[in-house]
Amino acid sequence: MKCPSKKWSLVVCSFLMLVNAARSAQANSSDEDKMLGDARVASEESSSSLRVMEPRALAKGEAQRIGGRLIVTLRSGKTKVYSDRLACSRPAEETKCIRYSLVVHAKTRSSYIIAKQYYEGLEAIVVNEVSGVETIVRGIPSYSSDGRSLVVFLENDPEVGFAVEVWQKNGDRFAKVWTGSPNSDGIYVSYRLIRWISEDAFLIETKTKYGGKKPDALQEVLIVRDASGWKIAPR
């Protein structure tokens, strides 16, 4: 967009450029959120689904794949390399396989999200694209709109079972600030992010299965932050 030379036109043009930039950033962050949501669904379906989805993420980011190596480029021009274990190519050793797949280059949040997939289960690596510092979480995360908070859903986790975690930006990495287990009285619980309402509140859906002892329950749960920290809002 080229501004004319008149002073009043320069002011108007500069304002419109800022508006267009804001709209573009919002559209890009929405696309990033969709890719993360699709990745969460894919990770529940099969261990190979995330690798199948990776070309879409590579096409939109500053990363490349060369065989079993995922190479991401930081803003400085330096690279970080994530290499699949050799066991991944040996069927007899598949239980030792660790595979890395790019989920998204979240440019509006200055980070890469990389799935680290084990034979069973996965972790997500949040890479700060400026410093290269990593934060490891035990699931594909969702960002708040300003990118300063993450929510992570744990389902059938070997350590905590079923839980929701909130992580907050702390320098170049994220730190876990809250863990809660809404509606976890059944034999299995699944969580789905509905939306972030603000930077201090988000709405999720919980589906609790009781194994036939009583009907499965589908509920919405509001999680909020006040002066004391994060908590499940009373119904």
Q: What is the pTM of this model?
A: 0.84
The model's confidence at residue 19, banded by pLDDT at 50, 70 and 90, is very low
Answer whether 165's CB lies under 8 Å from 176's CB: yes
What tens digit of pLDDT does each residue of 198-218 get? 999 999 999 999 888 888 899
What tens digit of pLDDT does each residue of 38-48 get? 999 888 777 67
Quote the longest CA-to-CA distance of the chain.
Answer: 75
Q: How far is CA 72 from CA 169, 179, 225, in A?
A: 21, 31, 34
The model's confidence at residue 165, banded by pLDDT at 50, 70 and 90, is very high
> Residue 66 above 70 pLDDT?
yes
Containing 131, the helix (H) or strand (E) segment is none
